[in-house]
């Protein structure tokens, strides 16, 4: 049953923003509370959707706040008691604080998390972390992520309380007081008249948050500054000269259920190899760790950091062979040591080799245990997010060096 009282309704933009934001928040709360227990197969997607829609709320709420400040709502009806008006005003402003602070705390939480999981906005494009949080060291990140996590949860519970009060008040007006108050936000429910003041500034108020959104998305995808090239000391030597244009050194790892492939842009190999004289074969490969790139900014910025490659302290990784043995029909295994990030561990690299006159082509792959070198040992020692084994592959073309 509805009342016949005529009330002044909110303007159209206020109504659209109220319901869009309300529907998203009402969906995000149960999703947020249950996503930790979501089936593994879809959990990554659920988190990404939670973050994407949460970020939408953030920018819609900025637009809404701007709209509210320039276009005040219709005055509360005189039929409302003074205490009730006060309660409504407090609840409404608390909501404005919340619909901005809640998603912001989520963004701060993922930006400072040492797990460093990138946000893919609706799976369409990479949404950046808040840059100054993402650059902190692991210990600071851990402390802040814990704080923002608590804040996010607390604000979410705050939202639940406010929603219960708010919806309770709306229903009380609709079904107990029957004063048609709810029609202010749902004009179909009863008789309403539009606000006396014409809404203004729509283009600017709605455009600014949209512009801010686009600006952050674009800036967040500008490739980072390349690290200064590390000294790979000395010329490539040996009886084979690698053709860098026709060779590649790649790596593949898993992160939060995704497989990511990258490559090292700068590396150098000194190769002494004669299939007839394996006893004297020797290979040394030096890799500029700062030249690692995946094409995804979040990883490219994280890899050189202290907890990962620690490229500032140990800019170069070196593989030195100790023995190469033939396994038949162009197959070999190269045993050696990989010195990386201040640690050294044995590594066996199976490879195939085809020599055609003065040209040689070789392909090989090895699995490197990142924890053997302390890579990511602080952020993810249990390999919960970043797979422990990293595959390193090479594809090499070389020509025979002219006799000295």
Interaction site with ligand HEM (CB under 6 A): 14, 18, 21-22, 25-26, 28-29, 32-33, 36, 50-51, 54-55, 57-58, 68, 73, 92, 95-96, 99, 102-103, 106-107, 109-110, 119, 149, 152-153, 156, 159, 163, 166-167, 170, 181-182, 184-185
Least CB distance to ligand HEM at residue 119 (A): 6
82-112 and 138-171 helices, crossing angle to 10°: 150
Least CB distance to ligand HEM at residue 267 (A): 36
Least CB distance to ligand HEM at residue 385 (A): 12
Q: Nearer to ligand HEM by C-beta: 61 or 293?
A: 61
Q: Nearer to ligand HEM by C-beta: 96 or 136?
A: 96
Least CB distance to ligand HEM at residue 10 (A): 7
Least CB distance to ligand HEM at residue 158 (A): 10
Bridge partner residues of 326 (DSSP):
332
Burial class (CB in 10 A: 0-12, 13-18, 19+), 131: exposed
Least CB distance to ligand HEM at residue 181 (A): 5
Q: Nearer to ligand HEM by C-beta: 193 or 306?
A: 193
Bridge partner residues of 340 (DSSP):
343
- At 347 the three-state DSSP class reads strand
Q: Nearer to ligand HEM by C-beta: 170 or 282?
A: 170
Q: Nearer to ligand HEM by C-beta: 149 or 300?
A: 149
Q: Nearer to ligand HEM by C-beta: 18 or 393?
A: 18
DSSP labels, 121-185: ETTTEEEPPPHHHHTS-HHHHHHHHHHHHHHHHHHHHHHHHHHHHHHHHHHIIIIII---GGGGT
- Supply φ then ψ for residue 97, to 5 degrees: -60, -45
Least CB distance to ligand HEM at residue 141 (A): 14
SS (HEC) of 270-330: EEECCCCCHHHCEEEEEEEHHHEECCCHHHHHHCCCCCCCCCCCCCEEEEEEEEEEEEECC
The b-or-e profile of 386-397 (16+ CB within 10 A means b, else e) is: bbbebbbbbebb
Q: Nearer to ligand HEM by C-beta: 143 or 343?
A: 143
Cβ–Cβ under 8 Å, residues 207 and 213: no
């Amino acid at each position: 049953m509805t009342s016949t009282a005529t009330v002044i309704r909110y303007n159209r933009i206020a109504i659209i923003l109220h319901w869009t934001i309300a529907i998203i928040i009402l969906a995000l709360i149960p999703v947020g509370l249950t996503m930790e227990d979501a089936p593994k197969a879809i959990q990554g997607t659920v988190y990404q959707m939670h973050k994407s829609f949460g970020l939408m709320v953030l920018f819609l709420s900025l637009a809404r706040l701007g709209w509210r400040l320039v276009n005040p709502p219709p005055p509360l009806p005189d039929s409302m008691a003074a205490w009730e008006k006060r309660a409504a005003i407090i609840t409404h402003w608390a909501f404005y604080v919340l619909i901005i602070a809640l998603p912001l705390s989520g963004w701060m939480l993922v930006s400072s998390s040492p797990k460093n999981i990138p946000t893919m906005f609706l799976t369409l494009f990479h949404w950046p972390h808040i840059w100054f949080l993402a650059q902190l060291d692991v210990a600071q990140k851990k402390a802040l992520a814990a704080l923002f996590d608590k804040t996010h949860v607390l604000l979410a519970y705050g939202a639940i309380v406010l929603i219960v009060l708010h919806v309770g008040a709306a229903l009380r007006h609709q079904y107990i007081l029957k004063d048609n108050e709810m029609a202010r936000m749902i004009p179909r429910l009863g008789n309403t008249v539009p606000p006396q003041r014409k809404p203004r500034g729509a283009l600017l108020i709605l455009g600014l948050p949209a512009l801010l959104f686009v600006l952050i998305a674009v800036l967040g995808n500008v490739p980072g500054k390349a690290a200064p090239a590390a000294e790979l000391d000395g010329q490539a030597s040996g009886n084979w000269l690698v053709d860098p244009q026709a060779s590649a050194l790649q790596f593949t790892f898993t992160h939060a259920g995704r497989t990511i492939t990258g490559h090292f842009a700068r590396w150098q190999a000194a190769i002494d190899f004669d299939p007839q004289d394996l006893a004297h074969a020797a290979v040394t490969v030096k890799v500029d760790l700062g030249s690692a790139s995946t094409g995804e900014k979040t990883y490219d910025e994280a890899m050189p950091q202290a907890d990962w490659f620690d490229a500032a302290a140990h800019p170069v990784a070196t593989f030195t062979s100790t023995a190469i043995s033939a396994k038949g029909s162009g197959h070999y295994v190269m045993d050696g040591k990989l010195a990386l990030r201040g640690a050294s561990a044995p590594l066996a690299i199976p490879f195939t080799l085809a020599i055609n006159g003065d040209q040689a082509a070789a392909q090989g792959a090895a699995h490197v245990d990142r924890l053997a070198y302390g890579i990511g040992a602080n952020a993810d020692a249990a390999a919960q997010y970043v797979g422990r084994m990293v595959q390193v592959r090479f594809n090499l073309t070389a020509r025979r060096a002219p006799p000295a």
